[in-house]
Amino acid sequence: MEANQALEGLPAPRGTMKTTFSEKCFTIFNYIFFILLGLTTLLPFVNLLAKSLSSESAVISGRVGLLPVGLQLETYQYVLQDSMFLNSLKVSIALTVVGTVCSLFLTTLTAYPLSKVRLRGRKGLLLIFVFTMLFSGGLIPTYLLMQNLNLVNSFPVLFLPAMVNVYNMLIIKNYFEGLPEELEESAKLDGAGNIRILASVMLPLSLPVLATIGLFFAVAFWNDYFSAMIYISDPAIKPMQLYLKELLVSSSGDFLKDNVDAAINTTPQSIQASSILLATIPILLVYPFLQKYFVKGVLVGSIKG
């Protein structure tokens, strides 16, 4: 793709321009700032990792900082052999893949016509969409709807209702609006229809926003526990976050109050820590992979080409 020739560091002055003193200061400040910021965001994960590898006694008495105390690996052995954990992991992966692909498709489809000013009733339609971001019928009628559609306790209920996400749709629409009109016009002259223009002209230029929104969807599906909590009671289709949530909630003071039997069987904190890490790492790997689509100058040369 042509866009790749325009590399990411483009705003950098080339050759003749000299960096001024203030710019140098700025650069140094930048590095220091980001190193510090990065450390503060990284340390909690190091701490979780250390807890997950430490003996329960050390974790209980709060002695685990950044390094494991009383190193052990049994927690991971335990979690990775737990059939409920593994099953929920599978559900979550399936949900994230299927949900993201379907949602991205449908949301993009909806965003494109709405980015065209010539679309009649555009304002009204947008208002209809935005309205649903703020007003909702609430849980009860939605639950009854899902029941009527025979969706309660089924896998599709986890992504079908979320497939058109207005927030994400608006971001994509916003991006489409920023694409040069000449592209569409020249494609029309070549006799292409709207669908073909979208598929073969607009989408290839929209990889950054599609990657972004794809990430948003993936993370949302991965992190969602609420719809599963309401609609799913079959353990076979419980996603990871619900499992994790229940693991944590069932060890919390509120839950254990007046429930001695549950209190005797609380989950050790080291196992909680390792479950949190194992449930988070897969989705963390998505972003670095998507970063290659965040290419600057994606539009360079596209106008004439």
Partner 1 sequence: MQLKIGPGPESARTIKPKPKRGYWSRLGLDIWKEWDLYLLLVPGILFILLFKYTPMYGISIAFKDFNIFSGFADSPWVGWKHFEKLFTSPDFAQVFKNTVIISFLKIVILFPLPIVIALMLNEMRNMIFKRTVQTVIYLPHFLSWVIVGGLFMDLLSTNGGIVNKALAGMGMEPIAFFLDNSVFRSVLITSAGWKETGWSTIVYLAAFTTIDPMLYEAAKMDGAGRWKQLWHITLPGIAPIIVLMFILRLGSVLEAGTEQILVMYNPVVYQVSDVIGTYVYRRGLGSQDYSFSTAVGLFEAVISFTLVIAGNAASRKYLQRGIW
Partner 2 sequence: MIFKMKTSAVLTAILSFALVLSGCGGGGGTSEPSAVEPSGGTTNASSEGTNGGDNSGKPDLRMIMQYGLFDPKTEYVAKYIEERTGFHVDYELLPAENADEKLNLMVSSKENYDIAKLNAAQFYNLASAGALEPMDELLEAHGNYIKQSIKPESFASATIDGKIYGIPETGAGVSIGEELVVRQDWLDELGLSIPTNRDELYTVLKTIKEKKNVIPLTMSKDSIYGDIATTFGVYTDWKEVDGKLVHRAEQPEMKEYIAYMSKLYKEGLLDTETPLNTAQESIEKFSGGNAAMYKLAWWNAGSTIAALQKNFPEAKTSIIPYLKGPDGKAVVGAKANTTWYIGILKSSKNKEAAMDFLNAKLEPETFKGIALGQEGVHYEVKDDKYYPILPIFNDQLNNASSFMTGVDEEKYPIYWQARVRKDPVLQAHFEAFQKNAEGLIVVDPMSTAPPIEAVSKNLLKLTTLLDDNVLQFISGAKPIEQYDPFLAQWRAEGGADMVAAANEWFQSTK
Tokens 């207005």 identify what position? 166
How far CA 81 is from CA of 31, 52, 74, 92, 243, in Å, comes to 43, 15, 10, 17, 15
Binding partner of residue 267 among partner 2, partner 1, none, CB under 5 to 8 Å per kind? partner 2
Q: Is 100 helix (H, G, I), strand (E, B) or coil?
A: helix
115 near partner 1 (CB under 8 A): yes
**d(C-alpha 240, C-alpha 277), whole Å:** 12
Is there a contact between 171 and 212 (Cβ–Cβ < 8 Å)?
yes
**d(C-alpha 57, C-alpha 268), whole Å:** 10
If binding means CB under 8 A, how many residues of this protein chain bind partner 1? Answer: 107
Return the residues of window 52-81 that contact partner 1 according to CB under 8 A.
62
233 near partner 2 (CB under 8 A): yes
What is the contact mask toward partner 2 in residues 76 to 95, using x (rule: CB under 8 A)?
-------xx-----------
Task: Considering the complex, state which of residue 22 and residue 83 has its C-beta at the smaller distance from partner 2.
Answer: 83
Angle between helices 269-284 and 83-114 (to 10 degrees): 30
**How many CA atoms lie less than 13 Å away from 73 in the CB half-sphere?**
2
Return the residues of window 235-254 that contact partner 2 according to CB under 8 A.
235, 242, 245-247, 249-250, 252-254
When binding is defined by CB under 8 A, the residue of 4, 27, 57, 150 that contacts partner 1 is 27
Binding partner of residue 280 among partner 1, partner 2, none, CB under 5 to 8 Å per kind? partner 1
Is there a contact between 238 and 229 (Cβ–Cβ < 8 Å)?
no
> b or e along 83-93 (b: 16 or more beta carbons within 10 Å of the residue's beta carbon)?
eebebbbebbe
When binding is defined by CB under 8 A, the residue of 257, 281, 284, 289 that contacts partner 2 is 257
Q: Which stretch binds partner 1 (CB under 8 A): 72-80, 227-235, 257-265, 287-295?
A: 287-295
Binding partner of residue 187 among partner 2, partner 1, none, CB under 5 to 8 Å per kind? none
What is the contact mask toward partner 1 in residues 216 to 235, using x (rule: CB under 8 A)?
---x---x------------
165 Cα distance to chain centroid: 13
139 near partner 2 (CB under 8 A): yes
34 near partner 1 (CB under 8 A): yes
In degrees, to the nearest 5, what angle opens at C-alpha 150 toward C-alphas 144 and 156? 105
298 near partner 2 (CB under 8 A): no
How far CA 87 is from CA of 215, 236, 241, 281, in Å, comes to 23, 7, 12, 16
Binding partner of residue 167 among partner 1, partner 2, none, CB under 5 to 8 Å per kind? partner 1
Residue 216 CB, shortest distance to partner 2, in Å, is: 22
Q: Which residues bind partner 2 (CB under 8 A)?
A: 55-58, 60-63, 70, 83-84, 120-121, 123-125, 127-128, 139-140, 143-144, 147, 149-157, 160, 229-230, 233-235, 242, 245-247, 249-250, 252-255, 257-265, 267-269
